[in-house]
């Protein structure tokens, strides 16, 4: 899910860059030297996984997985999404250089929202199913991102109100796809290697860094 | 999906020879100016100027067209949505549906601006090795940490692409076919899950390898950029073009005229 | 016990225990000492603790108990940078070790971390790439190289900071025969202290004069490779088996005896057995030179002239191995792939 160059108004583009810079500054705080390669390498997986297409009806959509980024990387999900957006804008050749700010803000906020939902899992006494919370996280991420995209379009001008509505409607099947994939993936990870998930017990650090 | 945007970085042209810092800064200003444009004639002018960048960079049209095709595909719906939903004077009717001039104008404006920016992005990032472009961005003030992470991610995208292809073949070899059903989505979830588990194991090994080679949390580099007079001249020229486009758009005759036309 | 002056020892491991924070114990009292310039194979089944052992050598993991000394310097948090300069580890999967955008950056990574001046770094990169036959690859991206090239590049990234000790994790995995042969020649010719952690007992047989067997977190055997790698009982007791080179004849004889072969196939096998009977025929076991190609000999090795008792294992040093100091084609195996 992304918006392309040339559509949004300058104030919206500016707000996107400002918001992204602020959130990146907050979510990159206290990054230790082990996390630099870790977050980057895991981001590479998400980048690659977002190239996967799944059929819906006669058409097919590619996975977004920003909810899963939140479920796996916690607050580091925002910088991860930002990396992904920058690389897409530069490497794909589909454009997006001028909308890096808006796209990162839209997708990254979705990822953070997913992390928020995912964390609730610990406080729920009754429903603890990782599938359910993974699915909720996946759907929430898409919902939040969709709303931000719609807001960005709507603020650009009245002409785009209808477009914003279509965007929200078109996202319904995508939400379902994301919910089911992220749910299945979260349940799988909880079973196979729970330390990959964002709110797992802190992993024992490997070895010592030079003092 | 070709990911080697820098495949023609080795070509010899005024754009490839340009100091990446000045190139990215001045073409970046051009992109900024284009995204501010409001009038159709100047958007068209920007599009022509962007074509000029590509011509100067000697990038093959076919290579660029691949990316531009996607942008056009993405923007096509606007030629329906905007004219049909715009509350304004009607241009014509198709199957009884009213198309508004102003909507059409807006769709054309968006498309010209988008394509101009995408073409400029090719001139920015298609003309130097990716890692050098990133280093140049860092010298221009992009956060160091972020640039380091981009380079890491970039490196491992290729490793995981290969891994994903192997896993995909292994799944299809066992008769898996993607369908629009829940099981497909579940399998995809597990597929991504295995990639993630493998990547976590890999990051632990990479970190060990980095520590083994004396990593202390900083990636050092010997890359140096040098700018000479002609680098600066190009940068000034591009900046002037950007300023001229924007100025003409703001105070030129087109704004009022367009309001009159539509 | 080992120890002493420290001057002759490259690696000293003294009664080392290691367990993970979750309590899982991997190493239970490992002791061994490796001399400078020695070539040692560390073999053992999966899960024996080989990887952990390697991580202890450069302080990527620190022992729970006991100590590790590298050229006399104890591996402790304070010395990690120095230790890591002395010990180079070449990992199994080159993609884990090649994390930079270009070949140059990867090879320069270690020297830059040492804070060397720019000219020195550039010289070291050139030299390291030349050593593995990748001259002129500086500006390439590692992900566009072939697997064999990446494996050699991973070695160059370690050589560039000039460690005296090289530790290899499964160096021959996934290599095609030509690259494997080049690596073997390279290892044979090297004058560094070399520790090969591997399941590939054939490479151990060709390269190493000494062999350590690690099983269930302990060193269960330590002795000349020419003895341990021929000891079927010992190897099989620890989920290993004889090097293939030593089993070929046996397997072929077995095939001749029991196989359902046509005449043609029988003739081929018989001819092979006849032609190679002098290399390692079943009745030539006392002759321990296993070089498949006699012209690929190593530089002369300092024969080690003493036996010493080490832990509970008696270390019997190699019977004076006289290997020809055949320089061989100097650039052999170093051509660009």
Q: Do B179 and A83 touch (CB under 8 A)?
A: no
Distance from CA of B197 to the nearest CA of C (A): 15
Question: What's the structural domain count of chain C?
Answer: 2
Residue A10 backbone zone (phi > 0: left; psi -120 to 50: alpha; other: beta): alpha
- At B217 the pLDDT is 77
Q: Greater confidence, B61 or C298?
A: B61
- ipTM for the assembly: 0.90
Residue B138, pLDDT above cutoff 60: yes
Residues B59 and B74 in one domain: yes
For chain C, the chains sharing at least 3 beta-carbon pairs closer than 8 angstroms are A, B
Residues B62 and B96 in one domain: yes
* Residue A200 is assigned to a structural domain of this protein: no
Task: Please give the average per-residue pLDDT across C290-306, as a whole number.
Answer: 36
Q: Binning pLDDT at 50, 70 and 90, where does residue C79 land?
A: confident
- At B98 the pLDDT is 77
Pairwise CA distance, residues C43 & C26, whole Å: 15
* Residue B110 is assigned to a structural domain of this protein: yes
Residue A207, pLDDT above cutoff 50: no
Residues C225 and C272 in one domain: no
Residues C114 and C252 in one domain: no
Contact A36, B217 (CB under 8 A): yes
- Interface check for C143 against chain B (CB to CB < 8 A): the answer is yes
Residue B176, pLDDT above cutoff 70: yes
* Residue A48 is assigned to a structural domain of this protein: yes
Task: Please write the tens of the pLDDT for every residue from A25-62.
Answer: 999 988 888 888 889 999 999 999 988 888 877 677 88
Q: Do C99 and B214 touch (CB under 8 A)?
A: no
Which residues are CB-contacts of C242 (< 8 A; sequence separation ≥ 6)? C201, C229, C230, C232, C235
* Residue A178 is assigned to a structural domain of this protein: yes
- Residues of chain C by 3-state class (helix, strand, coil), percent to 5: 40, 20, 40
Q: Which of residues 100-129 of A touch B (CB under 8 A)?
A: none
**Which residues in chain A belong to E strands, given as ranges?**
53-56, 59-62
- Residues of chain A by 3-state class (helix, strand, coil), percent to 5: 70, 5, 25
Range of the domain at B94: 14-137+228-261
Partners of residue B211 in chain C, C-beta under 8 Å? 58, 60, 84
Partners of residue B221 in chain C, C-beta under 8 Å? 105, 112
* Residue C335 is assigned to a structural domain of this protein: no
* Residue C323 is assigned to a structural domain of this protein: no
| C-beta contacts of B88-96 below 8 A and 24+ residues apart | B88/B262, B89/B262
* Residue A134 is assigned to a structural domain of this protein: yes
Tokens of B184: 């497909």
Q: Do C113 and B213 touch (CB under 8 A)?
A: yes
Task: Please give the average per-residue pLDDT across B150-169, as a whole number.
Answer: 90
Pairwise CA distance, residues C337 & C333, whole Å: 9
* Residue C3 is assigned to a structural domain of this protein: no
Residue C316, pLDDT above cutoff 50: no
Q: Binning pLDDT at 50, 70 and 90, where does residue B168 land?
A: confident
Contact C40, C100 (CB under 8 A): no
Q: Do A40 and B152 touch (CB under 8 A)?
A: yes
Partners of residue A209 in chain C, C-beta under 8 Å? 80
Contact B184, A52 (CB under 8 A): no
Residues B76 and B191 in one domain: no
Partners of residue A207 in chain C, C-beta under 8 Å? 55, 59-62
Range of the domain at A53: 10-195
CATH of the domain at A173: 1.10.1760.20
Residues B25 and B105 in one domain: yes
Residues C254 and C150 in one domain: no
Q: Do A206 and C78 touch (CB under 8 A)?
A: no
Residues C123 and C250 in one domain: no
For chain A, the chains sharing at least 3 beta-carbon pairs closer than 8 angstroms are B, C
* Residue A59 is assigned to a structural domain of this protein: yes
Residues B161 and B31 in one domain: no
For residue C55, the chain A residue with the least C-alpha distance is: A207
Contact B152, A36 (CB under 8 A): yes
Residue C291, pLDDT above cutoff 80: no
Residues C15 and C43 in one domain: yes
- Interface check for C52 against chain B (CB to CB < 8 A): the answer is no
* Residue B92 is assigned to a structural domain of this protein: yes
Q: Binning pLDDT at 50, 70 and 90, where does residue B122 land?
A: very high
Q: Name the average pLDDT for chain A.
A: 87
Residue B262, pLDDT above cutoff 60: no
Percent of chain B with pLDDT over 70: 96
CA A162 vs. chain centroid, Å, equals 25
- At C318 the pLDDT is 32
Residues C254 and C225 in one domain: no
- At B258 the pLDDT is 59
Task: Please give the average per-residue pLDDT across C91-119, as a whole number.
Answer: 90
Task: Please write the tens of the pLDDT for every residue from C136-151.
Answer: 999 888 888 999 899 9
* Residue A124 is assigned to a structural domain of this protein: yes
Residue B8, pLDDT above cutoff 50: yes
Distance from CA of C51 to the nearest CA of B (A): 11
- At B224 the pLDDT is 86
Q: Name the average pLDDT for chain C.
A: 80
Tokens of C279: 């290399």
Q: Do A163 and B82 touch (CB under 8 A)?
A: yes
Give the Å distances, CA to CA, from C295 to A149, C323, C327.
70, 11, 9
- At A25 the pLDDT is 93
Q: Binning pLDDT at 50, 70 and 90, where does residue B171 land?
A: confident
Residue A205, pLDDT above cutoff 60: no
Residues B152 and B207 in one domain: yes
Question: What's the structural domain count of chain A?
Answer: 1
- At B2 the pLDDT is 65
For chain B, the chains sharing at least 3 beta-carbon pairs closer than 8 angstroms are A, C
Residues B186 and B118 in one domain: no
Range of the domain at C261: 244-289
Pairwise CA distance, residues A113 & A106, whole Å: 11
* Residue B218 is assigned to a structural domain of this protein: no
Pairwise CA distance, residues C30 & B187, whole Å: 45
Residues C130 and C220 in one domain: yes
Residues B30 and B112 in one domain: yes
**Using N-to-C axis directions, what is the helix angle for A10-27 and B20-36, rounded to 10°?**
130
Count of other CB atoms within 10 angstroms of residue A172: 11
Of all helices (H) and strands (E), which one includes residue C253?
Answer: helix C244-258
* Residue B219 is assigned to a structural domain of this protein: no
Task: Please write the tens of the pLDDT for every residue from C150-195.
Answer: 999 999 999 998 999 999 999 988 888 888 898 999 999 999 999 9
Residues C76 and C153 in one domain: yes
CA A108 vs. chain centroid, Å, equals 5
For residue B149, the chain A residue with the least C-alpha distance is: A40
Task: Please write the tens of the pLDDT for every residue from C105-115.
Answer: 999 999 988 88
Q: What is the DSSP letter of A201?
A: P
Question: What's the structural domain count of chain B?
Answer: 2
Residues B132 and B77 in one domain: yes
For the ranges A153-162, B63-72, B90-99, the lowest mean pLDDT is seen at B90-99
Q: What is the pTM of this model?
A: 0.80
Residues B93 and B200 in one domain: no
Mutate to test the interface with B, among C98, C105, C123 (most CBs of B within 10 A): C105
CA neighbor of A65 nearest in space, from A40, A47, A88: A47
* Residue C102 is assigned to a structural domain of this protein: yes
């Amino acid at each position: 899910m992304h918006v392309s160059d040339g559509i949004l108004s300058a104030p919206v583009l500016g707000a996107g860059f400002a918001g992204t810079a602020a959130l990146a500054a907050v979510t990159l705080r206290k990054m230790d030297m082990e996390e630099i390669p870790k977050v980057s390498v895991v981001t590479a997986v998400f980048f690659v996984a977002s190239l996967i297409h799944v059929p819906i009806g006669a058409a097919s959509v590619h996975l977004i997985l920003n909810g899963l980024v939140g479920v796996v990387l916690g607050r580091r999900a925002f910088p991860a999404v930002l990396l992904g957006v920058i690389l897409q804008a530069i490497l794909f050749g589909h454009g997006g250089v001028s909308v890096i700010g808006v796209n990162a803000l839209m997708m990254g906020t979705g990822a953070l929202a997913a992390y928020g939902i995912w964390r609730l899992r610990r406080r729920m006494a009754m429903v603890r199913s990782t599938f359910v919370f993974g699915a909720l996280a996946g759907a929430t991420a898409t919902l939040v991102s969709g709303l931000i995209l719609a807001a960005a379009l709507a603020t650009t001008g009245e002409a785009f109100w209808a477009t914003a509505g279509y965007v929200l409607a078109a996202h319904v099947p995508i939400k379902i796809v994301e919910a089911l994939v992220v749910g299945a993936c979260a349940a799988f990870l909880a079973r196979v290697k729970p330390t990959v998930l964002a709110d797992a017990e802190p992993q024992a650090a490997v070895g010592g860094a030079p003092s | 999906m070709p990911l080697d945007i820098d495949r023609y970085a080795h070509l010899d042209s005024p754009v490839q020879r340009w100091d990446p810092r000045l190139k990215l800064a001045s073409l970046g200003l051009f992109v900024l100016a284009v995204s501010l444009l409001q009038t159709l004639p100047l958007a068209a002018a920007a599009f022509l100027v962007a074509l000029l960048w590509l011509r100067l960079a000697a990038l093959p049209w076919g290579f660029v067209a691949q990316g531009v095709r996607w942008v056009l595909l993405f923007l096509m719906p606007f030629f329906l949505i905007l004219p049909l939903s715009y509350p304004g004077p009607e241009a014509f009717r198709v199957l009884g549906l009213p198309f508004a001039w102003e909507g059409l104008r807006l769709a054309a404006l968006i498309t010209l601006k988008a394509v101009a920016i995408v073409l400029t992005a090719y001139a920015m990032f298609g003309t130097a090795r990716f890692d050098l472009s990133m280093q140049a961005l860092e010298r221009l003030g992009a956060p160091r940490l972020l640039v380091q992470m981009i380079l890491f991610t970039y490196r491992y995208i290729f490793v995981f692409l290969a891994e994903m292809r192997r896993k995909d073949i292994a799944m299809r070899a066992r008769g898996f076919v993607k369908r629009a059903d829940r099981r497909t989505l579940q399998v995809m979830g597990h597929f991504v899950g295995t990639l993630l588990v493998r990547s976590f194991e890999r990051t632990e090994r990479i970190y060990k390898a980095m520590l083994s080679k004396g990593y202390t949390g900083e990636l050092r580099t010997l890359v140096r950029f040098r700018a000479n007079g002609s680098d600066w001249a190009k940068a000034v020229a591009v900046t002037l073009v950007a300023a001229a486009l924007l100025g003409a758009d703001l105070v030129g005759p087109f704004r009022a005229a367009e309001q009159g036309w539509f | 016990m080992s120890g002493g002056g420290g001057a002759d020892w490259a690696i000293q491991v003294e009664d080392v225990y290691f367990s993970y924070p979750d309590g899982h114990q991997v190493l239970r009292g490992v002791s061994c000492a490796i001399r400078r310039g020695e070539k040692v194979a560390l073999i053992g089944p999966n899960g024996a603790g080989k990887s952990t052992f390697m991580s202890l050598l450069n302080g990527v993991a620190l022992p729970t108990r006991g100590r590790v000394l590298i050229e006399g310097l104890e591996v402790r948090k304070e010395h990690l940078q120095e230790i890591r300069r002395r010990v180079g580890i070449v990992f199994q999967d080159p993609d884990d070790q090649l994390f930079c955008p270009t070949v140059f950056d990867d090879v320069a990574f270690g020297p830059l971390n040492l804070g060397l001046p720019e000219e020195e770094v550039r010289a070291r990169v050139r030299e390291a790439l030349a050593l593995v036959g990748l001259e002129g690859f500086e500006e390439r991206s590692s992900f566009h190289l072939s697997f064999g090239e990446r494996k050699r590049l991973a070695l160059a990234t370690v050589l560039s900071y000039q460690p005296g000790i090289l530790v290899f994790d499964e160096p021959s995995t996934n290599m095609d025969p030509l690259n494997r042969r080049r690596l073997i020649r390279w290892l044979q010719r090297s004058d560094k202290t070399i520790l090969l952690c591997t399941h590939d007992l054939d490479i151990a047989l060709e390269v190493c004069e000494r062999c350590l067997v690690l099983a269930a977190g302990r060193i269960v055997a330590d002795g000349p490779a020419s003895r341990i790698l021929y000891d079927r009982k010992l190897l099989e007791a620890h989920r290993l088996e004889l090097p293939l080179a030593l089993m070929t004849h046996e397997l072929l004889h077995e095939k001749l005896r029991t196989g359902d072969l046509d005449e043609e196939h029988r003739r081929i096998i018989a001819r092979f057995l006849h032609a190679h009977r002098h290399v390692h025929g079943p009745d030539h076991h006392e002759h321990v030179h296993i070089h498949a190609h006699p012209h690929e000999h190593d530089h002369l090795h300092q024969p080690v002239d003493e036996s010493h008792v080490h832990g509970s294992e008696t270390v019997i040093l190699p019977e004076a191995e006289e290997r020809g100091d055949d320089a061989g084609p100097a650039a052999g195996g170093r051509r660009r792939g």
